[in-house]
Amino acid sequence: MILPEEFKSRMQDMLGEAYPAFIRSYETTSHSALRINTLKGTREQFLDKAVFSGLREVAWEENGFYYSKQQSVVRVGKHPLHEAGVYYIQEPSAMVPAAYLEAKPQERVLDLCAAPGGKSTQTACYMQNQGILVCNEIHPARAKILSENIERMGIRNALVTNETPQRLAEVFGGYFDRVLVDAPCSGEGMFRKNQEAVAEWNLENIQLCAERQDEILDCADRMLRSGGRLVYSTCTFAPEENEGSIARFLMRHPDYHVLAVPLYSGMAAGNPQWAWIHNSVLTQQLEPQCRASLEHTIHLFPHLVEGEGHFLAVLHKAGEAESNIQRFPPKGIQMGVKAKEVKEFFQFQKESLNLDLTEGRDNCLLRFGDQLYLMPLDMPSINQLKVLRIGLHLGTLKKKRFEPSHALALALNREEAKYTMELYQGDNTAAQAYLSGQVLPFEGEKGWRLITYMGYSIGWGKGAGQTMKNHYPKGLRKNV
């Protein structure tokens, strides 16, 4: 691999004696990993099925596993369990930021730069579909991919937005318990995996990225409550975007400090000496407490860990959360529709499901035209926001009937459906037929059935005579 000379020179200055080992890492192959989706089932359930061989644990994510290079990427990415959202293919170092975010059920969490969705879906697993997860992406095409991954992983409590950080900050002032900023960056940490990142690298872009990161972090601060946690991460080695970004943020926001968190084997502590922007901000200008905070930032270098290059800082905002006080978003709570307006849905639920999705919750159904959504509890108003996904898309209201969505199928466990049809009979033949849109042979009562593979939901079918009508979305169907 041909690396930019200016990049190599700077890395040699930064790493010193460790530089030869760093350069040698580019002669090795990158590491591949997957993360089990615990919204679909437990880690033990997945491992008991022994679908993939050679799995090894990722130290910083209990549900993350390296998979063997002998196990081809095509097979892992095209396997029916992938289509069912049972796991997410994710670069191992990219699992670190969400792990340190430590999101919990019932919290309000923002992933500000969320596409394609790896960290959002990881965070959703920690939240167990409880609370509100706002996943934002500024670029429309990438926001669409983010929304598709949120759907595939069966997430019920996510709001996917396509907004600027500045616009979100106007709407969600002081609203979130935790904010993740996986910032757009120069991508140096991905050089080994992405040749385009090498070709596009230049010093000017590093400066532009650093300036953009300052703006994004300031917006994140406006949306984080007192006592909240902010995790900042990049996939670059550029000091201007790492220690430099954190140093500048701390100087603008002295009410923050970087938390000292436990490091996993191979992780390296940050270096205050690297906190500069083309020498316009010198280390000597930093306050002592700022210098100490920078020592608690974290680097992942490819010669020290089994993963690509990453940087992160776990920041705490001063103050305490308001106890025993219901915090409402500035724009208020989104109002839903009355049950009598969507009686077709409740009829479907009574006939086809073993649970009441609205149990104990008023004002939780939202209707857009003929489309029906299940909102997260106390979902903030979406008025004047660009929204791609609102909680869980339930389906389509048609004349005197309700047609369930693919998103609903993927969000259900087998036990939650009254009628199911299992595809796995020792091989993938039936699954491949279903995923390609073929009609399946069937004997049984007419009506909706949750189609499962190895016990995991993968879509809908509708019994009709001697066949199972295939309702796998046409846009997702595979050629076999």
- Residue located via tokens 């959360």: 321
Question: 418, 390 in Cβ contact below 8 A?
Answer: no
- Closest by CA to 83, choosing from 424, 425, 444, 467, is 424
- Closest by CA to 47, choosing from 86, 77, 83, is 86
- Closest by CA to 258, choosing from 281, 287, 284, 283, is 287
DSSP conformation letters of 421-432 = EE--SSSSHHHH
For the chain, the helix, strand and coil percentages under 3-state DSSP, each to the nearest 5 = 35, 25, 40
DSSP conformation letters of 262-292 = PPPTT-EE--GGG--STTSS-GGGS-HHHHH
Question: 83, 452 in Cβ contact below 8 A?
Answer: no
Instruction: Report which residue type is found at 189.
Output: G
- Closest by CA to 419, choosing from 409, 411, 429, is 409
And the tokens for 427? 């091989």
3-state class (DSSP) for residue 144: helix
- 185 included as an active-site residue: no
Q: How far apart are CA 371 and CA 373, in angstroms?
A: 7
Catalytic annotation, pick one of 219, 235, 290, 364: 235
DSSP conformation letters of 151-185 = HHTT-SSEEEE---HHHHHHH-TT-EEEEEEE---
And the tokens for 274? 């690297």
Question: 134, 115 in Cβ contact below 8 A?
Answer: no
Question: 357, 374 in Cβ contact below 8 A?
Answer: yes
Helix (H), strand (E) at residue 14: helix 5-15
Q: Report the catalytic residues.
A: 235
